[in-house]
Amino acid sequence: MLVVMKPQATPEEIQAVCTQIEHLGFRAHPLPGAQRTAIGITGNQGEIERGNIEELSGVAEVIRVTKPYKLVSRDSKEEDTIIHFPGTNATIGGRDLAIIAGPCGIESRDQAFAIAEAVANAGAQFFRGGAFKPRTSPYAFQGMGEEALQIMAEVREKFGLRIVTEAIDQETLALVEQYADVIQIGARNMQNFSLLKKAGHCRKPVLLKRGMSATLEELLMAAEYIMSEGNYQVILCERGVRTFTDHTRNTLDLSIVPAVQRLSHLPILVDPSHGTGKRNKVLPLSRAAIAVGADGVMVEVHNQPDKALSDGPQSIYPEQFVELINEVEQIAPVVHRTLTRGIQVEHLKAAAPDQVAHPAAR
Amino acid sequence: MLVVMKPQATPEEIQAVCTQIEHLGFRAHPLPGAQRTAIGITGNQGEIERGNIEELSGVAEVIRVTKPYKLVSRDSKEEDTIIHFPGTNATIGGRDLAIIAGPCGIESRDQAFAIAEAVANAGAQFFRGGAFKPRTSPYAFQGMGEEALQIMAEVREKFGLRIVTEAIDQETLALVEQYADVIQIGARNMQNFSLLKKAGHCRKPVLLKRGMSATLEELLMAAEYIMSEGNYQVILCERGVRTFTDHTRNTLDLSIVPAVQRLSHLPILVDPSHGTGKRNKVLPLSRAAIAVGADGVMVEVHNQPDKALSDGPQSIYPEQFVELINEVEQIAPVVHRTLTRGIQVEHLKAAAPDQVAHPAAR
Amino acid sequence: MLVVMKPQATPEEIQAVCTQIEHLGFRAHPLPGAQRTAIGITGNQGEIERGNIEELSGVAEVIRVTKPYKLVSRDSKEEDTIIHFPGTNATIGGRDLAIIAGPCGIESRDQAFAIAEAVANAGAQFFRGGAFKPRTSPYAFQGMGEEALQIMAEVREKFGLRIVTEAIDQETLALVEQYADVIQIGARNMQNFSLLKKAGHCRKPVLLKRGMSATLEELLMAAEYIMSEGNYQVILCERGVRTFTDHTRNTLDLSIVPAVQRLSHLPILVDPSHGTGKRNKVLPLSRAAIAVGADGVMVEVHNQPDKALSDGPQSIYPEQFVELINEVEQIAPVVHRTLTRGIQVEHLKAAAPDQVAHPAAR
Amino acid sequence: MLVVMKPQATPEEIQAVCTQIEHLGFRAHPLPGAQRTAIGITGNQGEIERGNIEELSGVAEVIRVTKPYKLVSRDSKEEDTIIHFPGTNATIGGRDLAIIAGPCGIESRDQAFAIAEAVANAGAQFFRGGAFKPRTSPYAFQGMGEEALQIMAEVREKFGLRIVTEAIDQETLALVEQYADVIQIGARNMQNFSLLKKAGHCRKPVLLKRGMSATLEELLMAAEYIMSEGNYQVILCERGVRTFTDHTRNTLDLSIVPAVQRLSHLPILVDPSHGTGKRNKVLPLSRAAIAVGADGVMVEVHNQPDKALSDGPQSIYPEQFVELINEVEQIAPVVHRTLTRGIQVEHLKAAAPDQVAHPAAR
């Protein structure tokens, strides 16, 4: 923290600020300048409320210096986190790109199997599908619930795809953890800290989507919540933020990919389906996501988007998904990545991913 | 819904769109224009996904016409909803302004009582205080929990103030409902639909804060979630939205007050403390909130903001709160309101507010 | 400026940063902390590019401390700037509230006179009207040009109202300066620095509207451009910023009023007509603007908004304007202001406002 | 336009709206629905102010249907516009990607030549450099003016690169037109309609940068301003928009590229230097820009960014530019593009680009 004094601040005011800082258990370092004095604060163990200082007489501004996240940071773990899926060759965060595809919501066994077959054949390693849908309207389709989870478990059995699906509260978290390979926390719940903590006790990887107006720091702090409870397998996902623009449903902020990679060791995916809300923009933005350096993409695919019960207009057709995979494959080497189509399942008993010990964990 | 065809759309394309609309169980009304044809859709019982039509050949745009909310709407209930607090003269939503004041978080019995006494003497009718704090960092003060609720119950007993406090998940909701007079749902949980539904089963009024990037429609739909489960006592609260500006923590969007009042019968308050994040802006924006027509304000007051464990810099001093009440009182008559200082508690047994039957409820 | 080093920065890296700072002609003040070292920079005469330092090895972040504006700042002039209009009792920025009213665009002599008479009778001191309209579409009504200026000069003659109208480029600036009492620079031109500089050479007060996505600092810097050329009579105006919200055309950011007043001595007005874009929100937000502490309001009034050639839906009727004035008058004393209805014109020759010498001017 | 009536609107109110529409010279098409009536409006020659209808009794909402732009639209010209540079093989908008590179501002002949040589050797076809810099602060470096234009003319002579530079007002526009091959209009001037019209009279292509908070429609309307004056050679450029995010200077909105390409025949480039404001994000976002389908990129390159007089931190080093070109070249075939490194200059006298007649021009 740095306290900037007003140009006309008196020596007494400067002294009073230093005293208050030390009173709070920190060290004050006055730094006289030509026009004004600044005071450095060190020893920020715990937390110092900016406002405690800001309102003192003679103070112009208080500036925070130290970042508040720890476990998500490259300072605490230098090398990239790679999520492994025991019994398979699938990874998220390593050299291999992760491709997650499937319908917005599971609507029936037939629909799920038809789409799963298509995306598996095209080369996806992960199948996504909503069992519990957070819908803006209480009168809209809310998902098939546990039945959808059972269908997805069958999909895994039959096609080898690993399953990604969203939990929206404590009850559904327990169910999702039981059935899925990756637990998704949606954008609207990114700051549902109670849910994040509970996800921190799960033994499955968590895919955390960026909130609609979350800053980079808030996204990292949400991941920190999960990690601080002991679950270090967190995957971040950019899915567009809310801005003034109206030509897409959200504004896909691809620059957050290199920004996350600079600060954090966690993998980051991009969801161009929610990120644009428009079918005709999913392919261009998927290419861009891979080109910018993302660890993979998550896209909505539907065999009959005209009849989809939710988010039809942003779902692509299976043929478009084939094209997407082809394009991604061509871009991959430019960013030193590979695309391994589909998933190889070993015949192992272990189904749950191992908890990799985190170096910064107590 | 209205479908706008491209200028060059063929009669066959127009026919195909009409067929698809009727196939989905709606009626199509083609409307040929000089340059292009539009097709009206009526009979929107249930929901029609815009995208099902948007991707048909020849279609330029699909425009939604009917609003998706029902119970919150003035269409379903013309007169203003007034929340009563049995056994007292306090109301929210009527001619009398509601003043809610107290610390961000309850830190101790002494702190709570000192502040409660100050705000009660100044003229507040409601006491706010956090027992469970949703904090961005897992390492920050998370609230005193049930102990804080007990302290607030004592505050009610002693000063007559009605209690407003936040629930952040299912467990805390049950506790808050037991102790408080108004259950607050915070901005970060405005689209935690699972929590909203559970709040819809409570028998206490719910104060719903606008999410950081929620549109007017999303705010109303969140209230609809609560009402659709049977709890019609919902109070909305503007608390600033996230924008590019950096001179305040959020941008207080006062224009939503008349906008809500036009569409909905629900009361709406303003929280200038979170809405600005700066102590020196709380009074000006409180005056503005009353002047714009809000049903009241919710402000953070702390006797020692320098030592507050959370949100110190946005809490005002008790003396400033006295000034705030004085200013609000002077502005009230301009907007045909009154300020009844403090609360009169009748000696009645009834403690829980009655569930007022909603005319639009089945 | 403050340079924050990475935790693992070596003494050599720290030394290299200090050397570079001194090489650029500044003084470096290393400040070792428990976790990391910060380096203060003083003597910021001229400008130091943040990036020159940011990319040095071992540097985590560079934080700017000194504000870049000078003449607009209260540091350079403590007391409020009050704009006088010689020969009249009208002021902007003093105890008296300034009320500016009139149509969006001047459409005819009859229209202008009818509206001017109405607003003069209601109590406005200033008449606004567009002669040159910056319209989004090249095919929309672009204003009547110099003829409109002549009509407004007649309005001044007949009703005593002082004239406010917009200049959009060099040519129109010369014309507007000749006819008007206040030269308006519109939101879209707030960063048209070439036009700002030219306005800095004018001898009439300049009303500078905040750009659609301008920060507080950018607004102040735009005013600094005008002042740095010698014209110290600048009036700021909040007119709404662009955000994700859709219930109003723009989001009126009333909190900028106290924020400006803290940092700058310049007066600040609010334009609730453009700030909301909706007739039914102009009165509530006008009340709020006065309650928050603005020096006045600028509103669009039209006798026949249904037939207005531009911005009809946000123009209020003359009767609404009478109500607005009445409400503003009631709120004024709460903020220690007065409303002097109408304008008293003295019989003086002096027509141009005096250039008040600015204490910070060379 | 579509008028949506309130559910409770009476037949008389509906009739009154129809009468008013026809009174304004349009045709009204009432469309009764189950819940409410909508009224279509056709024959929108000229302009109808939404508000004229919106305030009539019984009206719930007015929705605009027809887009206001004409010449920029694919409706008026189906095939892509390709800008040719006579005497060379360079194009913008065709199959070949356009690479524009150079310093933010021209600082000296030596600097310009050093950078120009580097970018020419690496494969750029266009050289950018500011002669007139729109700077937020009046005290910052404002550019070398005409001397910079002369230096750039020498650069063209020596390296064959075509020159792109910004005009900020009428005077500089005349100079820039004289010296440059492409006239740049900056983001801050995107709605300086006076400047746009003057650019519409120039005989050189205009590169129009998207304003900081411009919608897609506003960007297209700004281009329409230029085209409506007769200059059909307009190149659009995405350079980031202003949002709440703070990890980059602006948020690069790559989804506007396919959105523009759907609606308009004009070429669109991406500027990742201003779009991110950070050197370390220029390469990832350049790759993404090409992958999303842009017609090229414009990047800032500086041989000594530490010493740059403006925008140093976002300028890349020449070696990074070589890498950028290599990566772009690899991605090009995925989007059916080619990268022709450098420029072939034919020995022709013609220096000015031909004015291609626009099919939709009168």
Residues C73, C69: Cα–Cα separation, whole Å:
7
- pLDDT for residue B360: 44
What is the spatial distance between Cα D318 and Cα D308, in angstroms, rounded to a whole number? Answer: 14
Residue to mutate among C18, C31, C45, with most A CBs inside 10 A, is: C31
The structure tokens 């449903």 sit at: A249
D83-335 domain in CATH 3.40.50.300? no
pLDDT at C65: 57
Where helices occur in chain D by DSSP H, the ranges are 11-23, 50-54, 109-122, 146-159, 170-179, 193-199, 216-228, 256-263, 272-276, 279-292, 318-331
Query: Torsion over CA of D17, D23, D28 and D34, rounded to 10 degrees?
Result: 10
The single residue listed with the structure tokens 């004015």 is: D355
Q: Is D259 on the interface with A (CB under 8 A)?
A: yes
Which of C56, C138, C169 is closest, CB to CB, to D225?
C138
C344–B contact, CB cutoff 8 A: no
Which of D65, D78, D242, D243 to mutate to test binding with chain B, by most B CBs within 10 Å of its CB? D65
Reported confidence tier of residue D361, pLDDT bands at 50, 70, 90: very low
**Could you read off the pLDDT of C121-132 as tens digits, one per residue?**
999 999 999 999
B296-300 and A182-185 strand pairing: unpaired
- Kindly provide the ipTM of the predicted complex, given to two decimals: 0.84
Cα(B270)–Cα(B237) distance, integer angstroms: 5
Which of D246, B362, D184, C347 lies closest to A214 in space, CA to CA? D246
Q: Which of D36, D42, D243 sits opposite B34 (nearest CB)?
A: D42
With a cut of 70, which residues of chain A have pLDDT below it?
Answer: 1, 32-35, 42-51, 64-67, 347-362
Which pLDDT band holds residue D349 (cuts at 50, 70, 90)? Answer: very low
3-class SS of residue A251? strand
Tokens found for residue C81: 């700037």
Mean pLDDT of the residues in chain D: 89
The model's pLDDT over A245-284, given as tens digits with 9 standing for 90+, comes to 999 999 999 999 999 999 999 999 999 999 999 999 999 9
The closest alpha carbon to C220, from C71, C91, C82, belongs to: C71
Determine the residue of chain D that is closest to B37 in CA distance.
Answer: D42
Q: Which of D302, D271, D298, D275 is nearest to D103 (CA)?
A: D302
pLDDT of residue B8: 82
For residue range C225-238, list pLDDT tens digits in order. Answer: 999 999 999 999 99
Give residue B66's Cα distance to chain centre.
22
Please indicate whether residue A354 or residue C66 has the higher confidence score (pLDDT).
C66
Q: Is B52 on the interface with A (CB under 8 A)?
A: yes
* Higher pLDDT among residues B142 and D284, named by residue: D284
Boundaries of every domain in chain B? 2-63, 83-335
Say yes or no for a CB contact (<8 Å) between A305 and B47.
no
pLDDT above 70 as % of chain C: 90
Tokens of B42: 């009526």
Q: What residue in B sits closest to D64 (Cα-Cα)?
A: B63
**Alpha carbons A234 and A81: distance in angstroms, whole number:** 9
In the three-class reduction of DSSP (H, G, I as helix; E, B as strand; rest coil), residue C260 is classed as helix
Angle at CA of residue B194, ends B191 and B195, nearest 5°: 80
Q: Which residues of A touch B69 (CB under 8 A)?
A: 137
Buried b (16+ CB within 10 A) or exposed e, C83-100: bbbebbebbbbbebbbbb
d(CA D82, CA D94): 5
**Distance (Å) from the alpha carbon of D247 to chain A's nearest alpha carbon:** 7
- D360 pLDDT higher than 70: no
Which chain C residues are closer than 8 Å to A40 by Cβ? 31, 33, 38, 40
- Identify the CATH homologous superfamily for domain B2-63: Phospho-2-dehydro-3-deoxyheptonate aldolase; domain 1 (3.30.70.1140)
- Cβ atoms of D344 and D88 closer than 8 Å: yes
C-alpha to C-alpha distances, B79 to B76, B224, B337, D6, nearest whole angstrom: 10, 17, 17, 17
Which of A4, A29, A66 lies at the smallest CB-CB distance from C65? A4
Please, which residues have CB within 8 angstroms of residue B266's CB and are 6 or more apart in sequence?
B72, B81, B93, B223, B234, B235, B236, B260
pLDDT band at C34 (very low <50, low <70, confident <90, very high): low
List chain C residues with CB under 8 Å of B239. none
Task: Decide if D290 and A289 are in contact by the 8 Å CB cutoff.
Answer: no
Cβ atoms C223, C208 nearer than 8 A: yes
Two tokens, residue C258: 């106290």
Which residues does chain A have within 8 Å of residue C244's beta carbon, measured at their own beta carbons? 242-244
Residue B169 pLDDT = 95
Chain D residues in contact with B63 by the CB 8 A cut-off are 2, 63, 65
For residues B179 and B202, what is the distance between their CA atoms, to the nearest angstrom?
A: 12
Q: How far apart are CA B306 and CA B292, in angstroms?
A: 31
**pLDDT tens, position by position, C162-202:** 999 999 999 999 999 999 999 999 999 999 999 999 999 99
C201/C252 Cα distance (integer angstroms): 31
Backbone angles phi, psi at A181, to 5 degrees: -100, -30
Structure-token pair, residue C59: 């540097």
Instruction: Select from D136, D242, D310 the Cβ nearest to the Cβ of C221.
Output: D136
Would you say residue C327 has pLDDT above 80? yes
Query: Number of C-alpha atoms within 13 angstroms, CB side, residue B103?
Result: 34
Rounded Cα gap, residues C327 and B289, in angstroms? 15
Neighbours of A158 (CB within 10 A): 12
How do residues C71-97 score in pLDDT, each as one tens digit?
Answer: 999 888 889 999 999 989 999 999 999
User: What does the block give as tokens for B133?
Assistant: 């704090």
The residue among B334, B314, B337 whose CA lies nearest residue B101 is B314
Taking each helix axis from N to C terminus, what angle separates B256-263 and C279-292, rounded to the nearest 10 degrees?
140
- Separation CA D252–CA A252 (nearest Å): 9
Q: What is the pLDDT along chain B (362 residues), one digit of tens a residue?
A: 678 888 788 888 888 888 888 877 777 777 766 667 778 776 544 556 666 777 778 887 777 656 677 899 988 788 999 999 998 999 999 999 999 999 999 999 999 999 999 999 999 999 999 999 988 888 777 889 999 999 999 999 999 999 999 999 999 999 999 999 999 999 999 999 999 999 999 999 999 999 999 999 999 999 999 999 999 999 999 999 999 999 999 999 999 999 999 999 999 999 999 999 999 999 999 999 999 999 999 999 998 877 777 777 889 999 999 999 999 999 999 999 999 998 888 754 444 444 444 444 33
pLDDT of residue A275: 95
* Separation between Cα atoms, residue C161 and residue C182, nearest integer Å: 12
Coil, strand or helix: which one is C224?
A: helix
| CA–CA separation, C187 and C209 (whole Å) | 5
pLDDT at C356 over 50: no
- Asked whether the beta carbons of residue B35 and residue D29 sit closer than 8 angstroms, the reply is no
